[in-house]
Amino acid sequence: MTKTNSTMAEQIARAATDFEQERTGHVPKSVTVVLCDNTLVVTLHGTLSPAETDLAKTPAGAAQVQEFHRQLFHDSCDTLRQEIAQITGAAVREVAAEVETTTGTVVHVFTTGTMVQVFLLARSLPAETWSGSGPVEQP
């Protein structure tokens, strides 16, 4: 996949995959990239090592794995921020990362000061059943 013939989402997914492999040594099983307004959410599925998965089976171990990945992301995310800015043409103002230890999913959120709630569904939804068309204004 080259940057000239792939979508921005595909380019960001590749950049996130490369970033994850470089910083952890693990390649995610899959990557999902979603953009809504000015919030980009990158979800990396199946990223924990077998040792991290075992450690995360206890509440204390899960907290340890989550904190490790948050800190690792915080300390190394500048290169990914720059790559996203280059791909999209928009600067990344804020970042956050969260690890769901039972599934090994890592979520990277790039926002502009808004609260982001990420819900990982148990399964994919067919595109034809999704009817969302954009932000909903509150009365």
Q: How far is CA 92 from the centre of its chain?
A: 14
Per residue in 40-49, pLDDT (tens digit) is 889 888 888 8
Angle formed by the axes of helices 8-24 and 59-76, to 10°?
A: 110
- Best-predicted range by mean pLDDT (2-6, 22-26, 122-126): 22-26
Whether residue 136 is contained in a domain is answered as no
Q: What is the pLDDT of residue 4?
A: 52
Sign of the alpha-carbon dihedral angle for 67, 62, 115, 92: positive
Q: What is the pLDDT of residue 83?
A: 94
Whether residue 58 is contained in a domain is answered as yes
Whether residue 98 is contained in a domain is answered as yes
Give the residue among 23, 6, 2, 7 at the shortest CA–CA distance from 80: 23
> Measured between alpha carbons, how far is residue 1 from residues 18, 31, 78, 90, 103 in Å?
13, 15, 23, 22, 28
Per residue in 89-122, pLDDT (tens digit) is 888 888 888 888 888 877 776 655 555 556 656 6
Residue 25 has pLDDT above 50, yes or no: yes
Q: What is the pLDDT of residue 2?
A: 44
The pLDDT of 16-25, averaged and rounded, is 92
Whether residue 60 is contained in a domain is answered as yes
Q: What is the pTM of this model?
A: 0.77
Whether residue 138 is contained in a domain is answered as no
Whether residue 118 is contained in a domain is answered as no
Q: What is the pLDDT of residue 12?
A: 92
- Structural domains in the chain (count): 1
Residue 63 has pLDDT above 60, yes or no: yes
Whether residue 45 is contained in a domain is answered as yes
Q: What range defines the domain where residue 103 resides?
A: 8-31+38-113
Residue 82 has pLDDT above 90, yes or no: yes
Whether residue 120 is contained in a domain is answered as no
Between 106 and 30, whose confidence is greater? 30
